Amino acid sequence: MSIQNMSKSAVRVGKNYIKGYTDTQVKVRDATSNDPWGPSGTQMNELAQLSYNQNDFIEMMEIMDKRLNDKGKNWRHVFKTLTVLDYLLHAGSENVVIYFRDNMYVVKTLREFQYIDEGGKDQGANVRQKAKDITNLLQDDSRLRDERRGRTNMRDRMSGTSAP
Amino acid sequence: LPTRPVDRDKAERALSENIKKATNAEEIAPKQKHVRNCIIYTWDYHSSQSIWTGLRVQPILNDEVQTFKALILVHKILQEGHPIVLREAQAQMGWFETCARTVGADSMRGYAPLIRAAVQYILQKLRFHRHHKEFNGMFEYEEYISLKNIDNPDEGYETIMDLMNLQDGIEQKQKLVFAHFRGAANNECRISSLVPLVKESYGIYKFLTSMLRAMHRRTDALDALEPLRGRYNTQHFALRRFYYECSNLKFLTTLINVPKLNHDPPNLFDSPDD
C-alpha cells in the first residue's frame, strides 16, 4: 500500500466517524472506495448477506445511491458500486431487485457516463459498459430469475446444505 | 414519492443549477452529468414542470449556442425522462416555436438553421407521441409490448408508416448537422446533438425490425407488405451510412457506442427468436 493510499484510507476512517455512518454503511463505503483495486469477494458476500436484513438494506441503499450519483472524478465509486450491485442482484435479497427495478433510471442513465482522466484515458467506458449490462439484466426478468436460482443452488451445493 | 433517499427542496435547487449549467454559453457539449440529473429529477418526482419553468427563467434565447444546447437537453429528457415528460411537453409548443423564431439574422456562429431543424424535429416527435401514447421516448419494443400486453402487430401498418416518417425526419436533421460542421473550428457542440439522434434512430430501427418481422409471420398477404419492405431497406442503408459517418467522429465515440449495421438489411421473413 502506497503512502498516498494509506492516507486516503485514513481520511475515510475519519469521515466514517464524523459523518456517523453505521457499520453497514462503512462496509459499503470500503467496498466502493477510490482504492484502485476491486471490492473483494468476501466483502461482496458479506454485503449480500446483510441485504437480507431490512435495516441494513436501507442503510446500504443510502450509500449506494450516493456513490452511484458521484461525479466523474470519482468514477471508481460509481464503477465499484455497479460491481457490488451486480453481485447483490445475483446473491442478495429480493429487495435489491425490487429497489433497482423501481429506480432503474439511476443505472440506466449511467450508460452515458463520462470521464476522461488527466492521461486522456476514457475511464467512463467501464462504467458505461457495466451500466448497460446491469440495465439489460434488470429488464430481463426470466434471466434474472434463472441467474438468482443458479446462484442459490451453487451456494447450497458448496456449503453442502442441499441434498445430493 | 421516490423510494430513493431524496430531499425535494434540495432537488429543486439542484435542478435549476443543472439546467443553468447544461445550457451555459460555452460552445461545448452539454455536460452529461447535468443532463442526467435533470432526467433523474423527472423520475423522482414524476414531473417536468420545473424544467420548463427553469428553461424560461434562464436567459437562453439571447444566445444561439445556449438555445441549441437547451434543445439538446430537452431532446434527451424527452427520450429518457419519465413518460410524463412527453405529455407535459405537449403544452410547450409555444416555447419551442419561440426558440425557432428568436434566432435571427445575426446568427454569427451558424446555429440558426440547426436550431430551426431541431425544433422542427422535436415538434414532429411530440406529434408522434401524442398519437401513439404507448411508445416511450426511446421507442423500446419490450416496453411497448408489455404495455400493449399482446403481441398484435396487425394494427401496425399505420404506426409503421408514422415511425418511418420520424426516421426520415432524423435523417434530414443529421444531414443538416453534418453539413454545418466548420472546418477547423470546434464542432463539439454540434456533434453532441447527434447523440440523441443516433440513439433514437436505432430505437426506431429495432422497433421497426421487430414489428415488421412479426407482421410477416402473421399475415398471408405478403405482397401488401412490399412497400414497407422497400422503405425499410432504404432506411437501413441511410442509417448504415449515418452510423458509419458518426463512427469517424472521435468525440462522438467517446460519448456513446455507435451501432454498426450489417451491410445488408435483416431478412424480415426470418424469425429471430430461434
Q: How far apart are CA B68 and CA B190, in angstroms?
A: 9
Q: Which residue has the cell 429529477?
A: B41
How does residue B274 score in pLDDT terms, banded at 50, 70 and 90? very low
Contact B271, B151 (CB under 8 A): no
Nearest residue of chain A to residue B141 (CA atoms): A139
CA atoms of B228 and B167, how far apart (whole Å): 13
In 10 A of CB B124, how many CB atoms?
18
Q: Hey, are the CB atoms on B40 and A72 less than 8 Å from each other?
A: no
Q: Is some CB atom of chain B closer than 8 A to the CB atom of A146?
A: no
Cross-chain CB nearest to A112 (options B3, B5, B256) = B256
Position A9 confidence tier, pLDDT thresholds 50, 70, 90:
confident
At residue B104, the pLDDT reads 62
CA pair distance A53, A11, nearest whole angstrom: 29
**With an 8 Å Cβ cutoff, are B4 and A72 in contact?**
no
HEC per residue, chain A: CCHHHHHHHHHHHHHHHHCCCCHHHHHHHHHCCCCCCCCCHHHHHHHHHHCCCHHHHHHHHHHHHHHHCCCHHHHHHHHHHHHHHHHHHHHCCHHHHHHHHHCHHHHHHHHHCCCECCCCCECHHHHHHHHHHHHHHHHCHHHHHHHHHHHHHHHHHHHCCCCC
Q: Find chain B residues with C-beta within 8 A of A72's C-beta.
A: 33
Q: What is the mean pLDDT of residues B243-259?
A: 92
Dist CA B239 CA B262 (whole Å) = 11
Distance CA A105, CA B3 (A): 12
The pLDDT value given to residue B46: 95
Using CB atoms within 10 Å of the CB of residue B36, give its burial: 0 to 12 exposed, 13 to 18 middle, 19+ buried: buried
Q: Chain A to chain B, count of Cβ pairs less than 8 Å apart?
A: 43
Candidates A62, A102, A116; nearest CB to B254: A116
Contact flag A128-B257 (C-beta cutoff 8 Å): yes
Which tens digits make up the pLDDT trace of A120-154?
A: 888 999 999 999 999 999 999 999 999 999 887 77
pLDDT tens digits along B145-180: 666 645 555 567 888 999 999 999 999 999 999 999
Cα(B167)–Cα(B225) distance, rounded to whole angstroms?
18
Nearest-angstrom CA–CA distance, A79 and B184? 36
Q: What confidence score (pLDDT) does residue A73 get?
A: 92
Interface test with B, best of A109, A121, A136 (most B CBs within 10 A): A109
Does the pLDDT at position B193 exceed 80? yes
Q: Band of the pLDDT at A5, cuts 50, 70, 90?
A: low
Confidence class for position B141, pLDDT limits 50, 70, 90: confident
Q: Which residue of B has its CA nearest to A63?
A: B5
* Cβ <8 Å between B4 and A106: yes
Task: Report d(CA A17, CA A9) in Å as an integer.
Answer: 13
Q: What is the structure's pLDDT at B32?
A: 93
- Report the pLDDT value the prediction gives residue B42, as an integer from 0 to 100: 97
What local confidence, expressed as pLDDT, does residue A164 receive? Answer: 43
The Cα–Cα gap between B42 and A50 comes to 31
Distance between CA A55 and CA B256 in Å, rounded?
Answer: 38
Q: In chain A, which among 102-121 make CB contacts under 8 A with chain B? A: 102-103, 105-106, 108-110, 112-114, 116
Question: Cβ separation of B254 and A114 shorter than 8 Å?
Answer: yes
SS3 assignment, position B210: helix
Which of B35, B42, B43, B253 to mutate against chain A (most A CBs within 10 Å)? B43
The 10s digit of each residue's pLDDT in B73-83 is: 999 999 999 99
Instruction: Please tell me the pTM assigned to this model.
Output: 0.89
Question: How distant is the Cα of A157 from the closest Cα of chain B, in angstroms?
Answer: 32
Answer yes or no: is pLDDT of A34 > 70.
yes
A62 CA: distance to closest CA in chain B (Å): 6
B102-135 pLDDT, tens digit each: 886 567 888 999 999 999 999 999 999 999 988 9
Of A102, A108, A114, the CB nearest to B3: A102
Question: Percent of chain B scored above 70 by pLDDT?
Answer: 92
Confidence bin at B14 (pLDDT 50/70/90): very high
CA distance, residue A141 to nearest chain B CA (Å): 12
State the Cα–Cα distance between residues B103 and A148, nearest whole angstrom: 55
Please state, in angstroms and rounded to a whole number, the distance separating the CA atoms of residues A80 and A31.
7
DSSP structural state of residue B221? -
Q: What is the pLDDT of residue B260?
A: 94
Which candidate from A71, A116, A128 shows the least CB-CB separation from B33? Answer: A71
Nearest residue of chain B to residue A70 (CA atoms): B33
Task: Look at B138 and B225; give whichever has higher pLDDT.
Answer: B138
pLDDT tens for residues B196-211? 999 999 999 999 998 8
Q: Do B142 and A139 touch (CB under 8 A)?
A: yes
Q: Check if A142 contacts B (Cβ < 8 Å).
A: no
Q: Chain B contacts of A62, Cβ < 8 Å?
A: 5
Mean pLDDT score of chain B: 90
pLDDT of A51-93, one tens digit each? 999 999 999 999 999 999 998 999 999 999 999 999 999 999 9
Chain A CA closest to residue B77: A109
Model confidence over B49-73: pLDDT tens digits?
Answer: 999 999 999 889 989 999 999 999 9
What interface predicted TM-score (ipTM) does this complex get?
0.84
Provide the chain A residues 36-75 that lie in CB contact (below 8 A) with chain B.
Answer: 61-62, 65, 69, 71-72
